[in-house]
């Protein structure tokens, strides 16, 4: 029964010269369509120097597409690039069916997955910005894009396209104002974290690389009874909300771990712009853990796409280690460390210790070993060290409490200024 309700589609792509990732992008478009519950019945590709400015495809390929349309009972056409309003209009007129592009498919998946108010607003702003230049002469086709099996216009309510440009602009403005308030709250939280000097580590990577599974592996390892795990599903864009978890290691060192939205090739610029406030977490991190699905044959292209997106977000200079996840599925030996790469299997909770070891080396460089004597009238410092440092030995002497400990150099300097009598090793 469900099978009959699935919308059918033909994928269409233009293979421009020097595009070495074309085959991969078409495979990914198929996965994106599947994520929208669309059944792909055929593919049509064309090699060309450039995309046809009026119809996306050349005249010969348009004829081929028309024959395919007849053979498959006029399915939807999904193009592998973002189309201009005139390209959509001309292509629809030529093939007499609904035409959508890669961007609207990704926007639709995001709309389907968005759970929090902030994510829903961000997706809707991106969708409206995409639709705005396509209003003139496109009311009918864009109206069709918003509905139909596999292409829900969830939460769009009053964005039905009888609205004029002014009302859509007003709606975008109202939602952006609402988003700004949420962004301000996020910035306050980030400032508070910086004040507390807790390192922030961001999990980044391609969609479905296993970032949320890796976060859960760390939470389970160090806080097994906390109930703080996040949604982890084997599907594209399972995570659209930024989740932050505090990870406290046995030696009193702690860091904040952030799970971010996954990247994809051709991620629409409307979406990157709309999600910029969420993705700012990435550009302000102390360390990036780039999670790679090592079982995916195209993982090298996925690394390239992720690093390009990071560059666009202004996060290219941040230290990075690579977590080659799903090593069990890739058939490579794990857990092991090779330079800045850690091979692991997050779902099996194997390789977590190696990853944490690499994180320690990167973010806890400012720790020193020291021996301090805390006068008895300054007992608050003993409580502070017990909470924020690793106390290795405690002795009670006439002058006060002698502690041998590993602590932040900044904390040691503060203690030295206030109390003195410090012997650093």
Of residues 332 and 17, more confidence is placed in: 332
8 A C-beta contact, residue 283 and residue 313: yes
Tokens 């203690």, residue located: 415
Distance (Å, whole) CA 22 – CA 161: 33
Q: Where are the beta strands (DSSP E) in 26-172?
A: 38-48, 76-79, 99-101
Residue 235: strand, helix, or coil: coil
367-424: CATH number? 3.30.70
The domain spans of the chain are 1-196, 198-363, 367-424
Of 243, 301, 217, 287, give the one whose Cα is nearest residue 116. 243
100 has a pLDDT exceeding 80 = yes
Q: At 421, give phi and psi (nearest 5°).
A: 55, 50
8 A C-beta contact, residue 162 and residue 139: yes
Sign for the pseudo-dihedral over CA of 410, 204, 291, 301:
negative
Q: Within a 13 Å sphere around the CA of 17, how many CA atoms are in the beta-carbon half?
A: 3
CATH topology of domain 1-196: Rossmann fold (3.40.50)
Q: At 26, give phi and psi (nearest 5°).
A: -70, -40
Strand order in the sheet with 200-205: 243-248, 254-259, 200-205, 287-293, 320-325, 341-343, 336-338
Q: What is the pLDDT of residues 298-349, one digit of tens each?
A: 899 899 988 988 888 888 889 999 999 999 999 999 999 998 999 999 999 9
Single pTM value for the model: 0.75
User: Could you say which DSSP state residue 377 is in?
Assistant: G
Q: What is the pLDDT of residues 110-145, one digit of tens each?
A: 888 777 788 788 888 888 888 888 765 444 444 444
Residue 315: strand, helix, or coil: coil
Of residues 35 and 354, more confidence is placed in: 354
Q: What is the pLDDT of residues 282-301, one digit of tens each?
A: 888 899 999 999 999 989 98
Q: What is the pLDDT of residue 221?
A: 92
Q: What is the pLDDT of residue 30?
A: 92
Distance (Å, whole) CA 232 – CA 200: 21
Q: How buried is 322 (Cβ within 10 angstroms: 0-12 exposed, 13-18 middle, 19+ buried)?
A: buried
pLDDT above 90 covers what percent of the chain?
40
Intrachain domains 1-196 and 367-424 with the same fold: no
Q: What is the pLDDT of residue 157?
A: 43
Average pLDDT over residues 244-249: 88
Name the helix (H) or strand (E) containing 145.
Answer: helix 139-146
8 A C-beta contact, residue 38 and residue 8: yes
CATH topology of domain 198-363: Rossmann fold (3.40.50)
Alpha helix positions (H), 72-164: 85-95, 102-113, 117-131, 139-146
Average pLDDT over residues 44-63: 92
Tokens 């004597």, residue located: 373
């Amino acid at each position: 029964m469900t099978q009959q309700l699935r919308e059918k589609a033909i994928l269409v792509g233009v293979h421009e010269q020097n595009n070495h990732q074309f085959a991969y992008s078409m495979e990914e478009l198929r996965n994106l369509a599947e994520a929208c519950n669309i059944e792909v019945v055929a593919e049509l590709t064309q090699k060309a120097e450039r995309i046809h400015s009026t119809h996306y495809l050349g005249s010969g390929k348009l004829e081929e597409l028309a024959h395919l349309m007849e053979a498959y009972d006029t399915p939807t056409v999904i193009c592998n690039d973002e189309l201009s309003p005139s390209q959509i209009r001309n292509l629809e007129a030529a093939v007499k069916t609904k035409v959508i592009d890669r961007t609207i498919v990704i926007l639709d998946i995001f709309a389907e997955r968005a759970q929090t108010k902030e994510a829903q607003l961000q997706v809707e702003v991106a969708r409206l910005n995409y639709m705005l230049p396509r209003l003139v002469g496109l009311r009918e086709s864009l109206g069709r894009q918003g509905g139909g099996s596999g292409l829900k216009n969830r939460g769009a309510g009053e964005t039905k396209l009888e609205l004029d440009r002014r009302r859509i602009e007003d709606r975008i403005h109202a939602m952006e104002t609402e988003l700004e308030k949420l962004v301000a709250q996020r910035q306050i939280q980030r400032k508070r974290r910086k004040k507390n000097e807790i390192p922030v580590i961001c999990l980044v990577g391609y969609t479905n690389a296993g970032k949320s599974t890796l976060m859960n592996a760390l939470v389970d390892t160090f806080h097994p009874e906390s109930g703080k795990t996040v949604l982890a599903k084997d599907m594209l864009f399972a995570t659209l909300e930024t989740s932050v978890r505090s990870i406290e290691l046995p030696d009193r060192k702690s860091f904040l771990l952030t799970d971010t939205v996954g990247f994809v090739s051709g991620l629409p610029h409307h979406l990157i712009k709309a999600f910029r406030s969420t993705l700012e977490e990435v550009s302000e991190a102390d360390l990036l853990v780039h999670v790679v699905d090592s079982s995916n044959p195209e993982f090298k292209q996925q690394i390239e796409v992720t690093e390009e997106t990071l560059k666009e977000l202004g996060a290219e200079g941040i230290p990075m280690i690579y977590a080659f996840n799903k090593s069990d599925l890739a058939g490579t030996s794990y857990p092991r460390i090779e330079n800045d790469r850690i091979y692991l299997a997050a779902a099996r909770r194997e390789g977590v210790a190696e990853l944490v070891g690499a994180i320690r080396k990167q973010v806890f460089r400012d720790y020193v070993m020291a021996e301090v004597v805390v006068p008895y009238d300054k007992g608050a410092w003993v409580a502070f060290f017990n909470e924020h440092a690793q106390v290795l030995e405690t002795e009670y002497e006439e002058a006060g409490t002698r502690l041998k400990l590993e602590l932040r150099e900044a904390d040691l300097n503060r203690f030295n200024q206030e109390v003195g009598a410090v012997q650093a090793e």
